[in-house]
Amino acid sequence: MTAPATVAGAAGATPAAAADRKIVAFCCRECAYAAADASANARTPLPPSVRLVLMPCTGRVSPLHLLSALAEGADGVMVAGCLLGQCHYREGNFNAVDRVAFVQRLLKSVGVEPERCQMFTMSAGEPPRFAAAVREIDRVIGGLPPLPRSEAGTRGAA
């Protein structure tokens, strides 16, 4: 995963400042959010750029959620759920993998780096894996140029 960040940096793009980065993490309640909670209880330092959104299951994350987060100001989005084949709702994480891949294809088709949207899996008992995923997305997004924003914003535009 280091190649996309290296390529973006080599293209002369200015990486987003750490204080200005915004990453939205859609986390399933059963595994990823539980791992995040355990990570916080262990006082594991995490990048301040990541904001968690509790979801009942990653299968409930729609491509619209991911694209809306990017359109509303996030520099990147991550979906964090149960290990593949171990979803508490049977196949929700498989749906999420497909939806993240779909959003990545959409982003690429409009000239936006597909690395801005990523999927991570973990169990509730793996707080270090959650911390590593958050650090990884923060590192990747930090190596990308800021998304261009319109002055008027996206709300209320006709």
pLDDT tens string 119-148: 999 999 999 999 999 999 999 999 999 988
Q: How many angstroms separate the CA atoms of 22 and 48, rounded?
A: 9
Q: Are 79 and 138 in contact (CB under 8 A)?
A: no
Partners of residue 27 on adjacent β-strands: 54, 80
| CB neighbours of residue 114 within 10 Å | 16
Whether 15 is in a domain gets the answer no
Give me the residue label for tokens 């993490």: 25
Count of structural domains, the chain: 1
Whether 122 is in a domain gets the answer yes
Q: Confidence band (pLDDT; 50, 70, 90) for 155?
A: low
What are the angstrom distances between the C-alpha of 62 and each of 43, 100, 119, 131, 146?
31, 9, 13, 24, 24
- pLDDT confidence of residue 29: 95
Whether 157 is in a domain gets the answer no
pLDDT tens string 65-108: 999 999 999 999 999 999 999 998 989 999 999 999 999 999 99
Residue 11 has pLDDT above 50, yes or no: no
Residue 123's domain spans which residues?
26-142
Give the predicted TM-score (pTM) of the model. 0.82
Q: Confidence band (pLDDT; 50, 70, 90) for 152?
A: low
